[in-house]
A and B are shown apart, each in its own frame.
Chain A
Amino acid sequence: MDGSDALMRKSLVFCGYCGFAAVVFFIIGGVFLGGMLPPLLRADEPPAEFVRKINENLMAIRVGSVFLMVSFALFGPFGAGIAAQTRRAERLPVFSFVQLIFTACGTMIALLVSFAWALMAFRPDVYDASLVQFLADFAYFLAVFSVPCFGGWCVMIALPILLAPEGTAPFPRWIAYINLWAAVLFAPGQLVLFFKSGPFSWHGLVALWLPFVAFFLWILIMSAAVITASRKPDPLAR
């Protein structure tokens, strides 16, 4: 193994660990501190209730938002690692390019989630209560209503694996099916526009929990897959 191969390995491993770190930071910022999951707020509550709950957890939400910002920024290197690995199996790296576009869009959308979350806890008493409610709505809409972007990202990872000739796939073939499955699970997120209560609202089991849990499980699986792939020789070098 020459020097460039060693750097290649390390850079892919780095991207994989960025994925793991994104999950850890989300759990700290979104689950333990920020009240994003499980949802502190409910879509069917009056604006005053939003302000009351946010005031009660002001500091936790603020610190949580900082962690969320870090977590979501790490989507960048995570996505670049996957694209770099699919690039190794493509002569004309079209799917890798499309992946990078989705990675960039997804990272930007996710960063806006933490902007909205942080602003919500910036001065809830000065803002009109409905504006605070709007920021919470906006955060959840960014996170789960953005299905075509995140789902499209998954499909763009699955296609170069499924279409690759025998033995030249950049990842094991089952990874492609996991990606398709993840894309299907993100889909119910688009229901949040139509319901304000029940399982399909942005605090509900099907429209919030399902896409979120699927998304972070997907990051864990893909991070592990990138790290494993870094040890493999070039798919086309044979």
Chain B
Amino acid sequence: MKKVLSQAHSGLIVLVLLVCATLASVIVGHGTASASISAGAKAAVIALAIGKVWLVAWQFMELRHAPRIVRYAFDIWLAIIAVVLTATLTL
């Protein structure tokens, strides 16, 4: 019983973090037709999205209990995505 509660608790904390990150990325990334957002803001939006992806995988997909090899593979994939997207969009 206690375990269920603590599990739901940590899940709830992660959910709040995810919602905050979403709202933060909207504030940072809200470009308009006339002035598209700066390179720094683009990098920040990508970074926030990557952070959210990592949190979803870590908490909800339970990578925190996964074998190390799976976690490393996922982290490496995510790092590559982060670098490639940031480089393509800002450089």
Q: Are chains A and B touching directly in their complex (CB below 8 angstroms)? A: no
Q: B residues engaging A (CB < 8 A)?
A: none
Q: A residues engaging B (CB < 8 A)?
A: none
